[in-house]
Amino acid sequence: MKDHEITLNLTSAVNSLSDVNKLINELESIEEFFLKMKAKSSLSQVDVPKSSIALEELAKLNSLNLMKSEDREKLNLFLHFIRTKSPTIHLSFGSSPDDKFLTKVTDWFRAQVNPYLLISIGLQPTIGAGFKIRTTNKYYDFSLRKYLTANKQTLVETLGTIVKQ
């Protein structure tokens, strides 16, 4: 699959490389199920793999039917493309973000930067508040620590004014 052939979209639930890997594994399980199904005489003799909500949402968003081999193939190629070609950024927070927060951040990046962007989340308690971004080439610090350090002179001046009073 080439760049200009990409017609599918990612859901907000799929925001990291591990999510992509999980979906690929799920798809492989489903594929394996259908291969087994061809070898067996009846469906009752094999366990139908349960697809995750993320995979179902992804298929639904892209109007794909996981029961159809060509759709699975299409989705599998798309996920492999995402795994190898998508840009990844690393975000660090002072505490673990919940899904709601992560969805909003992912949506912003997909809407403003790149629709296939993947996010890697890290935890740095020393940040306190705010966040840090690390891309392939650069590093951005939007943490409260950095903000306080950058405004250290203001803090000193303010304290000096208070002491003089």
Partner 1 sequence: MNIISIIIILVVVVAILAYFIYRINFSKTKVKKINRRTDPYGQSVEEVVNSVFDANFREELKNRGKLHFEKILNDNAMFLKQDLELTSSEIHDYLKQEINKNLESEFKNYKDTIEDAKKLAIDSIKKTQTVLEDQRKSLTAEIVKQFDAEKKVLINNFQDNMAEIINHYLLKAVGGHINLNDQLEFIIADLEANKAVIVEDINEGS
Q: CB count, 10 Å around CB of 48? A: 11
Residue 122 touches partner 1, criterion: CB under 8 A: no
Binding test (CB under 8 A) with partner 1, winner from 137, 161, 163, 165: 137
The tokens describing 62, both together, are: 């892209």
Backbone angles phi, psi at 129, to 5 degrees: -140, 165
Residue 23 CA to chain centroid, in angstroms?
Answer: 12
Q: Draw the binding track, 22-51, toward partner 1 (x: CB under 8 A; -: no contact).
A: ------------------------------
Residue 104 touches partner 1, criterion: CB under 8 A: yes
Write down the least CB distance from residue 17 to partner 1, Å: 14
Residue 94 touches partner 1, criterion: CB under 8 A: yes
Q: How far apart are CA 17 and CA 22, in angstroms?
A: 9
Write down the least CB distance from residue 87 to partner 1, Å: 4
Give kind and range of the element (H or E) at residue 123: strand 118-123
Placement of tokens 């002072």 in the chain: 94
Residue 131 touches partner 1, criterion: CB under 8 A: yes
Binding test (CB under 8 A) with partner 1, winner from 41, 63, 84, 136: 136
Q: How far apart are CA 96 and CA 140, in angstroms?
A: 19
Write down the least CB distance from residue 149 to partner 1, Å: 7
**Part of the chain binding partner 1 (CB under 8 A), chosen from 24-32, 42-50, 74-82, 121-129:** 121-129
Residues 131 and 142 sit within 8 Å (Cβ to Cβ): yes
Residues 117 and 89 sit within 8 Å (Cβ to Cβ): yes
Q: Residues interacting with partner 1, by CB under 8 A?
A: 85-87, 89, 93-95, 97-98, 100-101, 104-105, 108-109, 112-114, 117, 125-131, 133, 135-138, 140, 142, 144-145, 148-149, 152, 155-156, 159
